[in-house]
Structure 1
Amino acid sequence: MGYDFNLLNFRKLDSNDLDKMHTWLNNGFAAQWYGKKQMTMDEVKEKYLPYINNEKPTQSYIISYENKPIGYIQTYKINDYPDYAKQVEIDEDASGVDLFIGEDAFIHKGLGKHIVRRFLKEIVFPLSDAVSCVLGPEPDNTAAIKTYEKVGFKYVKTVSTEDGDEYIMRIGKDELEIS
């Protein structure tokens, strides 16, 4: 199936999305790489309601295709999370991005690079003063790493964090391809 990438969009996560988040985080690809452990509905609420209610400085979004929710993506300033900033040791004003595609029908279809590139262009860089963006997939998540390389991210280093090892990758705002 060919995709019309103009039909991809992002909207703010809201409390009506928490059932879908619970399903995604406990099943399939998202559970393997993103959730890492089964989460109760109360745990999902505990984690994501502070983002929804602007109680934490992470901006959370639902990824949609043809207005159908297919995944989750978030951005935050690395320095807003001092413990994480110390672990990744990025010496510049950087934003972070985390994401997953939760709907199995959309996994491994080539959408990832378009989602990330568009999110950087539409949300991350325009809405922050960040000079770069970093992300940290698990070192064994080769599909994600290859996707991020297609966007232009480059490997920086592997670090150990409280959530496990992360393969830190970086792209500068000036390196983002316009295509």
Structure 2
Amino acid sequence: MDLLKIRAFEDDDILLMKTWLNKEHVMKWYEDPDAWLSEIYGRFDKFSFINHFIALYDRNPIGFCQYYICADADEHWYGNIPITGSYSIDYLIGEENYLGKGFGKAIIALLVNKVFSLDKAQRIIVFPEPENIASCKSLLANGFIFDEKNKLYCKTK
């Protein structure tokens, strides 16, 4: 996985992202492509608190990922997790040839390292669909703990 990197999302990635969001294996978990695209289009203003990235393997785009400070998002799935110092991540593999080969786990590891390099980051919380077994297993493999009370995955710094 040494050839796996993430880089900042660019305007030239929008068409590729549209393609990925409309693939069956992605739509299963990202049901509203327009909402995701709206965040990307607004990444320099309304959604500037979200840090968007493209995952590259050997310089070829294979997926998308992002992180954000939970306090900046208008979401209500955190339960009793302290909002201060909490970040969340999202990720997807768009290219089918990279599914089931450990790339999701590796993308999560890159995101975790990026978030935990930030001074204010104390924890990362994630709320995947419980039926998304691959995502849940990838989180656990990266040291996340399933918080039974809040029904989410959490990793502390």
Correspondence for 1:96: 88
**Matching residue within 23, 32, 36 for 2:31:** 36
1:20 aligns with 2:11: no
Q: Is the 8 A contact 1:22 1:44 kept in 2?
A: no
Which blocks of at least 5 consecutive residues in structure 2 are unaligned?
none
Correspondence for 2:141: 150
Distance 1:158 1:19 in 2: 39
Shift of 1:127: 3.0
Distance 1:171 1:32 in 2: 25
1:168 aligns with 2:152: yes
Q: Structure 1 residues 102, 128: closer, same or farther in 2, change over 3 A?
A: farther
Shift of 1:54: 4.8
Aligned 1:46-57 pairs, distance under 5 A: 46-51=38-43, 53-56=44-47, 57=49
Correspondence for 1:162: none
Shift of 1:32: 1.1
More helix by percentage: 1
Q: Secondary structure at the match of 1:87?
A: coil
Q: Identity of counterpart residues, as a percentage?
A: 27
2:31 aligned partner, one-letter code: K
Distance 1:16 1:111 in 2: 23
TM-score (norm 1): 0.79
Shift of 1:55: 3.7
Which blocks of at least 5 consecutive residues in structure 1 are unaligned?
160-166, 174-179
RMSD over aligned Cα atoms: 1.8
Deviation per residue, 1:33-67 (Å, 9 max, x gap)? 1x214x46xx664331112x254200000001011
Shift of 1:147: 1.0
| 4+ runs deviating over 3 angstroms | none
Distance 1:87 1:114 in 2: 25
